[in-house]
Amino acid sequence: MKQIGFIGLGIMGKPMAKNLIKAGYNLIVYDLVAEAVQEVALTGAQAAHSIADVARIADVVITMLPNSPHVKEVILGDNGVLTNIKSGAIIVDMSSISPLASQEIEAECAKKGVSLLDAPVSGGEPKAIEGTLAIMVGGDESVFEHVKDLLLVMGASAVYVGETGSGNVTKLANQIIVALNIAAMSEAMILATKSGVDPEKVFNAIRGGLAGSAVLEAKMPMVLNRNFNPGFRIELHIKDLQNALDTAHSISTPIPLTAAVMEVMQMSKSCGEEKNDHCGIIKRYEDMAKTEVMKKG
C-alpha cells in the first residue's frame, strides 16, 4: 500500500488522518475547509487542491463525509474520485450513510474495476483521537483483508460483516441502540432526581449491573457536569436515525422506539441545540419534568 488518500477532515476525519500519519502512512488529504487541510499537512500529509488530486495518485482513497449525497458527489460527481482513480484501486467509505447508497456507489465503482468498502465507525471524536474506533465493514472480504491493518490504525476493532451495505446496516443498528440507551438513561435519571435521589449515586450504584453500558459510562458523567460539547452531535444522530427509519420502512420493518427517540432529537433541534452532544436530549426530559440532572455540591 503506497499512497493513501483521505477526503473529509471534519470532527472525525481529522484525527483519523493524523493517526494514519503517526503510523507512517503516506497521506494526501483534501477537504473543502482549507484550514483543516493545512492543519493535517503540518503533521506530515501532502495537501491536495482538489478531489481529483487525491484520486489520481492514491492506491486507497478513504472518505469520511456527512451523508449519502456528499459521498455520492465526492465519488461519483463530475471530476470526482471515480473519474480520476486508477483501475484496481480501493475506496473505503467510512461515512455513515444509507446502505442503499453504498450499494449504488459500489455498482458504479465495479464498472471501472474499483473496489468499494462501506466501513462506518462508532465511538465519536474521543475514540477517533485515540484510534480506538469500532469499524464495521461491508464489501468484498478479500479487499477487507487487504486494508485491515490500515483500518486497525484508526480503530480498536475492524469487523467484516457481509456484502456491500452491510457495514452501514450494522452502523444503523448501532445508532438505534445508542439513541435508545441515551433516552433510557435520561428518563431514569429524571425519575431519580425528581424523587430526591442523587443521580451521581444512582449512576455509581447501577453501572456495574445489567443496566451498565458503554453509553452510560461515556454520557452520564457529561450530563452530571452539564457538558454538552459534542463528541457526537444531535444533528448527526438525527441523520443516522432518518437513514435507519428509511431503511426499515423499505423492508417493512417497524422500529417504533427509534421513531419516538427521533422526535425527542427533533425537539432539541427545534430548540437550536442540534450541535450539542447527543446526550443533550436529556434537556428535553428536564423541560418536561422541570428538573435538572446534575452533580450535587
What gap in Å lies between CA 139 and CA 151, rounded to an integer?
14
The alpha carbon torsion through 73, 79, 84, 89 (nearest 10 deg) reads: 0
What gap in Å lies between CA 95 and CA 76, rounded to an integer?
15
Q: Look up cell 432518518; give the residue.
A: 242
Angle, helices 68-76 vs 99-111, to 10°: value is 10
Phi and psi at residue 85, to the nearest 5°: -75, 150
What gap in Å lies between CA 69 and CA 83, rounded to an integer?
17
In a 3-state reduction of DSSP, which class is residue 60? strand
Answer yes or no: 171 catalytic.
yes
Of 72, 171, 239, 283, which one is the catalytic site residue?
171
Cα–Cα distances (Å) from 297 to 33, 98, 218, 224, in that order, read 42, 45, 21, 11
Question: Catalytic amino acids?
Answer: 171
